[in-house]
């Protein structure tokens, strides 16, 4: 799924939800730019899958920007329109994540 998401980004076949845009703008650690999202996805890995999400299965990608900022991106691939939908983007809080990849218990 990650390869498809990266391919869609490179081909500029992606959409941000309003929720994602709002989260990126209001991020507590500082605004997240579009370029940072692409950088993190390009170097990222899927750390959680959500196969039952509707209307499309989604996943949580963890990656770092070129300036090593950790980001989490929840995205879904809409096969019917051949686009990636960015559902939300945030910088994971270090108190809630182990190495930004596993949730704290």
Q: What is the second-level CATH architecture of the domain 2-103?
A: 2-Layer Sandwich (3.30)
The domain locations on the chain are 2-103
Backbone angles phi, psi at 79, to 5 degrees: -60, -40
Walk along the chain (105 residues) and give the pLDDT tens digit of each residue: 899 999 999 999 999 999 999 999 999 999 999 999 999 999 999 999 999 999 999 999 999 999 999 999 999 999 999 999 999 999 998 888 777 777 777
Angle in degrees, CA 40, 29, 56, rounded to 5 = 45
């Amino acid at each position: 799924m990650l390869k498809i998401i990266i391919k869609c980004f490179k081909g500029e076949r992606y959409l941000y939800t309003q929720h994602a845009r709002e989260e990126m703008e209001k991020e507590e650690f500082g605004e997240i730019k579009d370029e940072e999202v692409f950088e993190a996805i390009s170097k990222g890995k899927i750390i959680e899958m959500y196969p039952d999400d509707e209307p499309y299965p989604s996943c949580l990608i963890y990656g770092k920007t070129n300036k090593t900022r950790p980001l989490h991106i929840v995205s879904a691939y809409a096969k019917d329109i051949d686009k990636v939908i960015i559902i939300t983007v945030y910088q994971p809080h270090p108190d809630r994540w182990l190495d930004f990849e596993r949730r704290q218990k």
